[in-house]
Amino acid sequence: MRKQIAAANWKMNLTIQQAETLVSDLLSASFDLNQEREVVFAVPFPYLVSIQNIIAGKEHVSVAAQNCYNKLSGAYTGEVSAEMLKSIGVPYVIIGHSERREYFNETNAVLAEKVSICFEYGLKPIFCCGEALSIREAGTQNSHVENQLKESLFHLTEEHLTGFVIAYEPIWAIGTGKTATSEQAQEMHAHIRKVLATQYSEALANSISILYGGSVKAANAKEIFGQPDVDGGLVGGSSLIATEFSVIINSLK
C-alpha cells in the first residue's frame, strides 16, 4: 500500500511555546502509525530543530520545512537552502504551495529548480498543485494541474521522483471552509495518477502518495481520505488544534 500521510502545514502561525504545547498534546494520544501511516509537521524554519527534539523517538512522525530556495548557496540574505535543511536532518519540504506561488511569484520554472535541488540533497518534496476558482469554473482544472506537473516535475526521471509526495490543493478550498467534494478530490487525484502513469509508469504512479488539501477538518477527513486515490491530507487551520488534528490522523486509511 502507498503511504497514507496526515501532514500539518502550520504556515506562519504559533509561537514556539504554542507549537511545543501543540505537538506535546498531540503526541500524548496514541496513534496507530506504521510504515504506511505517517504524520508530518510542516513548521516554520526557526522551530524545526525544537520540534524534531520533541518528536525524537516517535516512529513515523517527522517534520517538514515549508519552503527552500532555488539556489544551492551564496549571497541570498534571508533564504534557506536544501543543503541546510538536509544538514539538520529534515526529511520533507513543501514545494510550490499556492501561497508561495501567489505572494512570492514562484513560477512552475522556479519550482522545477527547487525539486531538482531537493533531489540532489535527498529531501522529499511535498509538491503542491491546484487550480484557482476561475479555472475550476471554466472546467479546465485537469489541464491546469497537468501543466503544473509537466513544467515543474517532468524534467526528472522516474528514479528522481521516487519518494515524492504530491498535494492537490484547490485554491478555492484553502482557508475558505469550502472543501472540494470527495468526488471532486477523487477525480483530480485519479487524473494526477493517470498523468504520472502516462509520463512514467503505472508502478511509479501507484507508489506516489497524493494528499488532498483545502479545508480538511475532523468532520470531513474520513470521507475525503476514504477515496481510493486520496492518500491523506495537507492540513492548514485544523492542524493548529490538537483535538481536530488527532481526529484527522485517525481518519487515515
> Which residues form the catalytic set?
97, 169
Binding ligand 13P (rule: CB under 6 A), the pick from 19, 39, 153, 174 is: 174
Helix intervals (H) in 93-181 = 98-103, 108-120, 133-138, 141-153, 158-161
Nearest to 23 by CA among 253, 249, 251: 249
Contact window for ligand 13P (CB under 6 A) among 80-88, 152-160, 167-175, 186-194: 167-175
Contact window for ligand 13P (CB under 6 A) among 15-23, 111-119, 144-152, 235-243: 235-243
Closest approach, Cβ 214 to ligand 13P, in A, equals 5
Measured CA to CA in angstroms, residue 131 lies from 11, 54, 88, 136, 229 at distances of 19, 36, 33, 7, 18
96 binds ligand 13P (CB under 6 A): no
Query: How many Cβ atoms from other residues are within 10 Å of residue 113's Cβ?
Result: 15
Closest approach, Cβ 73 to ligand 13P, in A, equals 27
Check the CA dihedral 14-19-25-30 and report its sign.
Answer: positive
Check the CA dihedral 1-22-95-148 and report its sign.
Answer: positive
Nearer to ligand 13P, 125 or 200 (CB): 125
User: Distance between CA 31 and CA 124 in Å, rounded?
Assistant: 23
Closest approach, Cβ 108 to ligand 13P, in A, equals 18
Nearer to ligand 13P, 62 or 204 (CB): 62
Binding ligand 13P (rule: CB under 6 A), the pick from 115, 166, 235, 248 is: 235
In the complex, residue closest to ligand 13P by CB: 236
Enter the C-alpha cell of residue 75: 549571497
130 binds ligand 13P (CB under 6 A): no
User: Distance between CA 177 and CA 162 in Å, rounded?
Assistant: 33
213 binds ligand 13P (CB under 6 A): yes
209 binds ligand 13P (CB under 6 A): no
